[in-house]
Amino acid sequence: MIALTEKRITVTGGAGFLGSRVVEKLRAAGAKEVFVPRSRDYDLTDMAAVKRLYADARPQVVIHLAAVVGGIGANRANPGKFFYDNLIMGAQLMEAARTSGVEKFTAVGTICAYPKFTPVPFKEDDLWNGYPEETNAPYGLAKKMLLVQAQAYRAQYGLNAIYLLPVNLYGPGDNFDPESSHVIPALIKRFLAAAEAGETEVTVWGTGRATREFLYVEDCAQAVCLATARYDKPAPVNIGAGFEICIKDLAGLIARMTGFTGKISWDSAKPDGQPRRMLDTARAQAEFAFRAKTNFEEGLRKTIEWYKGSR
């Protein structure tokens, strides 16, 4: 158990979608020294910049959220970059944490680390029982190496490093760039534009049969803060909402909520990605009392309203 209000905390990716919420929650809880390194000042793929970051911020706690991420299209277009940048950022940040005497390192991984065919709901003990889904395997494996490093550094050096596995996130402030967005913002943008233009048909990638689980970004930020304060064990922990929805139903729901009344057709030549995704969230509840609170439709409504107002 760590009293975060009394620690110097560095949050990589702290200006991003999830990170900004984590920083808000830390400060709201009374943390006075929260440092957010910006990529223009610290290139986390460069070890000299990482060492300079640690010298400047002198962190006692590091929450590593910085990542190069995107949807299926972005993963297929950039497998090498997604692998290298995510691997090297995490490896260097944790190595520098060890040599700098950091007290706690929270590494945030990804559900993409799980094998392509994992029994549903995904349990942490199944993490090594197969190869990840091919379209995002380089990203998933790069982030998975943070778990290996965290456990190895705990065993050899006594570094208190923990590893969290969040499911797909969504919420206000999400990435709506069609080149790199995930499924929820991509569908919101597409259906809203179609509704406003009076289009009669929207085509969506895949068959619609794949399932996904989604966690509201504010809930995930709460989980990260709780785990950083309360969890000190080597085992990885799933962070999710504990439900799944098929993409066909998700598209229908978003169409209705954005006012699109036309036909939804499916481009089955495009990949579905992993067939099913849903996490077993019992460990997070047992270890640090995390349970997602945001109703899915309510979260979608807030996301759609934010997007409408921010265009």
216 included as an active-site residue: no
b/e code 142-176 from CB counts within 10 Å (16+ = b): bbbbbbebbbebbeeeebbbbbbbbbbbbbbbbbb
Out of 42, 54, 114, 139, the active site residue is 139
The answer to whether the beta carbons of residues 1 and 54 sit under 8 Å apart is no
DSSP code per residue over the chain: ---GGGSEEEEETTTSTTHHHHHHHHHHTT--EEE---TTT--TTSHHHHHHHHHHH--SEEEE-------HHHHHH-HHHHHHHHHHHHHHHHHHHHHHT-SEEEEE--GGGSBSS-PSSBPGGGTTSSPBPGGGHHHHHHHHHHHHHHHHHHHHH---EEEEEE-EEE-TT----TTT--HHHHHHHHHHHHHHHT-SEEEEES-S--EE-EEEHHHHHHHHHHHHHH---SS-EEE--S--EEHHHHHHHHHHHHT--SEEEEETTS---SS---B--HHHHHHH-------HHHHHHHHHHHHHHH-
**Positions marked active-site:** 139
